[in-house]
């Protein structure tokens, strides 16, 4: 009996060792940290310590464009390869990495669907809702939430020579994006700006949930275990009063009302989803992911652009001067229109530079190599391998953006011309992915960016409350930025009314 146990254990150990050797040899021709060839402990450690995107960047500097970061995982910093992988007819599919971001464990959404046919069908049904053609009030809805944000600042957070009222811009920026996407998604904001509060403890829970999702994504098997019936009770559910579960409940409730026989048609995103054929379960799933993915990434960019602008006084002065000149020449309305914002060259340069310096979604986003394999960077990559984006390396590339790519300098977008400018632009666009995986909310996000900075900087002067440590910043695949305290004062009264 004892001998049998020893033989069994020995066999298991031998099988484990042989599998580890096979895994290592399979991608041994691609450089990377030695331990990454045998286990995921390296990537797990970096994820737990909230430094994974930065660690990928460092590995790229050390090992080159294509780097092995796990037994079956590679990352690349080549934009051309990524665009080819994501092209409309590409045989690449999403890898199991995405399953960790299923906010509602019971159903997939357009972000987590891995089957290409299902993903493409779902994407075709939801895209019209994001374009604004079926929601003619989209721009007006964003303007309404900007007006509420302005009112909140004016009533509670304006400082004077006699009174100091600090504002945590990290929190208020997300209140704004959450209410914007709430109104666009189902026709009403969720009340973050109205109550000036973290409704449902959403932000508080996001700050802990997003890092946990990133850690889980490094071990896809963990996702399957956690989403199993055994753990279902501890995961978010629609009866929760706070966090993701509360939003699941709202999405389910709002969607159910829309599917009642006597329900009127609505010209918001949810109404568009229904008109284009989503069933109730699918519509609820898409409405939910809009709130989570759309608000977090947009808020991240708004914080990043503000932080870099306030930290660079010449940039801030030049941006305000462009806004002031456009107002005086009658080239922008009050509130500014999206089309007008796109005609302000320095504003566009500042936004692009903010997106480049702090890409809003900087996780690996691994895609699966097709069964026949592929040749990348002159090396054969066998089918089934997972290839992710080395996001920080891509957007700090000196070959693409110039020798000073590590610093925030919007002028690079005004100095570049021809092929160089086209390559810079197509590369920064990768923050929204591309091809069949392009973020459907790209246009909505740009509309927010084209409006909010003009409307705030035409009315107010912002300054960092603590220039030495302006904010608490971590990167868990999404930038987590809080304790971003600013002092806000009113600008010239006549200009702010213009």
Contact criterion met (CB below 8 Å) for 251 and 288? yes
Residue 468 has pLDDT above 50, yes or no: yes
Whose tokens are 């796990």? That residue is 70
Q: CA distances (Å), 243 to each of 203, 256, 276, 292, 339, in order?
A: 8, 20, 29, 11, 36
Collapsed DSSP state (helix, strand, coil) of residue 426: helix
Q: What is the pLDDT of residue 215?
A: 86
Taking alpha carbons only, the member of 75, 73, 45, 82 closest to residue 61 is: 75
Q: What is the pLDDT of residue 485?
A: 98
DSSP sequence for 440-483: TTHHHHHHHHHHHHHHHHTTEEEEES-TTS--EEEESSBEEEE-
Q: What is the CATH number of the domain that holds 315?
A: 1.10.630.10
The mean pLDDT value of the chain amounts to: 91
Query: Which is more confidently placed, 16 or 71?
Result: 71
Q: What is the pLDDT of residue 220?
A: 81
Query: The tokens of 439 are what?
Result: 């973020």
Other C-beta atoms lying within 10 Å of the C-beta of residue 482: 18
CA dist 85 and 78 (Å) reads 11
Lowest mean pLDDT among 35-49, 142-156, 178-192, 218-232: 218-232
374 DSSP β-pair partners: 381
If you ran DSSP here, which 8-state letter would residue 337 be given? P
Query: How much is the pTM?
Result: 0.93
Maximum C-alpha span of the chain = 92
Lowest mean pLDDT among 86-90, 177-181, 182-186: 182-186
Q: What is the pLDDT of residue 498?
A: 47
CA dist 403 and 429 (Å) reads 20
Left (φ > 0), alpha (ψ -120 to 50) or beta: where does 386 sit? beta
Q: Is residue 31 part of a domain?
A: no
CA dihedral 457, 462, 468, 470 (to 10 degrees): -70
Residue 18 has pLDDT above 80, yes or no: no
Q: State the total domains in the chain.
A: 1
Q: What is the pLDDT of residue 370?
A: 97
Contact criterion met (CB below 8 Å) for 470 and 311? yes
CA dist 182 and 299 (Å) reads 14
Q: What is the pLDDT of residue 416?
A: 97
If you ran DSSP here, which 8-state letter would residue 292 be given? I
Residue-range definition of the domain harbouring residue 285: 92-364+409-497
* Sign, Cα dihedral of 368, 374, 377, 379: positive
Query: The tokens of 389 are what?
Result: 């984006």
The pLDDT of 261-270, averaged and rounded, is 88
Query: The tokens of 401 are what?
Result: 């953006």
Contact criterion met (CB below 8 Å) for 102 and 224? no
Q: Is residue 475 part of a domain?
A: yes
- Tell me the percentage of the chain whose pLDDT exceeds 70: 94
Lowest mean pLDDT among 91-95, 135-139, 337-341: 135-139
Render pLDDT for 113-137 as a digit per residue (tens, 0 to 9).
999 999 999 999 999 999 877 777 8
Q: What is the pLDDT of residue 238?
A: 82
Contact criterion met (CB below 8 Å) for 263 and 280? no
Q: Is residue 102 part of a domain?
A: yes
Q: Is residue 162 part of a domain?
A: yes
Note the helical H segments in 218-334: 220-226, 243-258, 269-275, 280-289, 295-310, 313-328
439 annotated ligand-binding residue: yes
Q: Is residue 474 part of a domain?
A: yes
The pLDDT confidence band at residue 497, using thresholds 50, 70 and 90, is: very low
The pLDDT confidence band at residue 102, using thresholds 50, 70 and 90, is: confident
386 DSSP β-pair partners: 73, 368
Q: CA distances (Å), 472 to each of 133, 172, 293, 316, 400, in order?
A: 39, 15, 21, 21, 29
Q: Is residue 57 part of a domain?
A: no
CA dist 224 and 231 (Å) reads 10
Lowest mean pLDDT among 71-80, 209-218, 306-315: 209-218
The pLDDT confidence band at residue 4, using thresholds 50, 70 and 90, is: low
Phi then psi for 497, rounded to 5 degrees? -85, -10
Q: Is residue 51 part of a domain?
A: no
* Sign, Cα dihedral of 82, 87, 92, 96: positive
CA dist 479 and 482 (Å) reads 10
Strand order in the sheet with 167-168: 167-168, 485-490, 460-464
**Spatial CB neighbours of 131, under 8 Å, sequence gap ≥ 6:** 443
Q: What is the pLDDT of residue 174?
A: 96
Q: Is residue 2 part of a domain?
A: no
Render pLDDT for 434-447 as a digit per residue (tens, 0 to 9).
999 999 999 999 99
C-alpha of 349 from chain center: 20
Query: The tokens of 196 are what?
Result: 């000036």
The pLDDT of 480-490, averaged and rounded, is 96
DSSP sequence for 208-233: HHHHHHHHHHTSHHHHHHHTSGGGGG
Peptide bond into 335 cis (omega under 30): yes
C-alpha of 161 from chain center: 38
């Amino acid at each position: 009996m004892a001998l049998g146990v020893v033989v069994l254990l020995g066999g298991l150990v031998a099988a484990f060792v042989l599998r580890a050797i096979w895994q290592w040899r399979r991608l041994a021709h691609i450089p990377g940290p030695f331990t990454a060839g045998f286990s995921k402990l390296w990537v797990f450690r970096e994820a737990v310590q909230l430094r994974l995107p930065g660690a990928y960047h460092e590995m790229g500097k050390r090992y080159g464009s294509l780097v092995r970061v796990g037994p079956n995982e590679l990352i690349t910093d080549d934009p051309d390869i990524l665009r080819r992988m994501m092209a409309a007819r590409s045989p690449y599919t999403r890898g199991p990495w995405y399953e960790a971001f299923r906010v509602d464990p019971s159903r997939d959404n357009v972000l987590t669907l891995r089957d290409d046919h299902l993903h493409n069908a779902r994407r075709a049904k939801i895209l019209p809702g994001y374009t604004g053609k079926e929601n003619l009030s989209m721009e007006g809805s964003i303007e309404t939430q900007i007006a509420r944000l302005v009112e909140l600042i004016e009533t509670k957070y304006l400082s004077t020579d006699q009174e100091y009222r600090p504002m945590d811009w990290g929190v208020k920026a997300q209140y704004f994006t959450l209410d914007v996407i709430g109104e666009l998604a189902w026709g009403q904001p969720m009340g973050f700006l109205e109550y000036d509060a973290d409704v449902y403890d959403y932000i508080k829970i996001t700050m802990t949930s997003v890092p946990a999702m990133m850690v889980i994504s490094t071990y896809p098997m963990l996702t399957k275990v956690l989403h199993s019936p055994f753990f279902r009770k501890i995961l978010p559910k629609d009866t929760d009063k706070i966090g993701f579960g509360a939003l699941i409940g709202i999405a389910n409730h709002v969607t159910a009302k829309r599917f009642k026989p006597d329900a009127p048609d609505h010209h918001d995103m949810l109404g568009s989803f229904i008109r284009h054929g989503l069933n109730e379960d699918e519509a609820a799933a898409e409405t939910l992911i809009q709130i989570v993915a759309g608000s977090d990434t947009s808020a991240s960019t708004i914080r990043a652009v503000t932080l870099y602008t306030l930290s660079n006084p010449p940039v801030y002065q030049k941006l305000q001067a462009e806004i002031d000149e456009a107002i005086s020449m009658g080239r922008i309305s009050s509130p500014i229109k999206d089309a007008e914002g796109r005609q302000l060259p320095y504003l566009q340069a500042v936004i692009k530079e903010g997106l480049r310096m702090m890409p809003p979604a900087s996780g690996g986003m691994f895609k699966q190599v097709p069964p026949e394999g592929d040749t990348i960077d002159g090396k054969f990559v066998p089918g089934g391998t997972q290839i992710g984006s080395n996001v920080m390396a891509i957007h700090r590339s000196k070959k693409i953006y110039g020798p000073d790519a590590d610093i925030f300098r919007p002028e690079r977008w005004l100095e570049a011309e021809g092929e160089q400018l086209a390559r810079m632009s197509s590369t920064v666009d990768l923050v929204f992915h591309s091809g069949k995986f392009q973020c459907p909310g790209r246009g909505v996000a740009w509309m927010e960016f084209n409006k909010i900075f003009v409307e705030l900087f035409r009315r107010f002067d912002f300054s960092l409350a603590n220039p030495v440590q302006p904010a608490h910043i971590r990167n868990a695949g999404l930038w987590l930025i809080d304790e971003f305290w600013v002092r806000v004062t009113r600008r010239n009264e006549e200009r702010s009314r213009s």
